[in-house]
Structure 1
């Protein structure tokens, strides 16, 4: 399912934090799995992978873990839920993730 997402600049809109928006450039949809551990090398285990939904549990030695579910709406829009521990602190994010266009040069 994640291979169907278009590369480019995406906006992550936190559903629970008014004005909580982050932009990131991704080369493929798999980058959204570890949104709180983007730079970490982690081991992952796919729990569910259907045409419309993927759920992955991952562990990052020395920096926590997470579990992410991504629901496909289109090649430019997904719903993301992720929770876990990063840098010894818990996180829980529910967000709409929308492609804005190509990454800025």
Structure 2
């Protein structure tokens, strides 16, 4: 019994934290897409919102693929045929690189963008 309890505590302590995303500053962020698409402005309360840019209001299950000091990769699955895989690399607290691909609304998406904090949310 004690060994099982200790194993459970150890597994919980090793669960991915995605702490790097907590080091991104909250505020207004601009996404500049590498393919030349129009820039997008978003209000970011915490860096975790950058994971599901194509599924912002969806409740999705997540699987952390990489949880590094300056880079995270998360694969997620939402209701219906909607899913994605996003990698975020932190350069500073106000600058990050985002790569994401998946299916949204039954259509494939793929993008690479620079995310830069531009000020406070409006």
Q: TM-score, normalised by structure 2?
A: 0.82
Structure 2: state its 5+ residue gaps.
1-19
Question: Which structure 2 residues correspond to residues 84-103 of structure 1 after superposition, within 5 A?
Answer: 84-103=102-121
Indicate the SS of the match to 1:2: helix
Over residues 39-84 of structure 1, what are the superposed CA-to-partner deviations in whole Å (9 max), with x where a residue is unaligned? 1110001000111100000000125100000001000000000000
Residues 1-105 of structure 1 correspond to what in structure 2 (within 5 A)? 1-18=20-37, 20-104=38-122
3-state SS in 1 of match to 2:58: coil
Within 2, Cα distance between the matches of 1:91 and 1:54?
A: 19
TM-score (norm 1): 0.95
Larger helix share, 1 or 2: 2
Gaps of 5+ in 1: none
Superposed displacement of residue 89, structure 1: 0.2
Moved segments of 4+, more than 3 Å: none
Shift of residue 99, structure 1, vs aligned partner:
0.2
Q: The residue matched to 1:30 in structure 2 has which SS?
A: helix
Greater strand fraction, Structure 1 or Structure 2 = 1
Structure with higher Rg: it is: 2
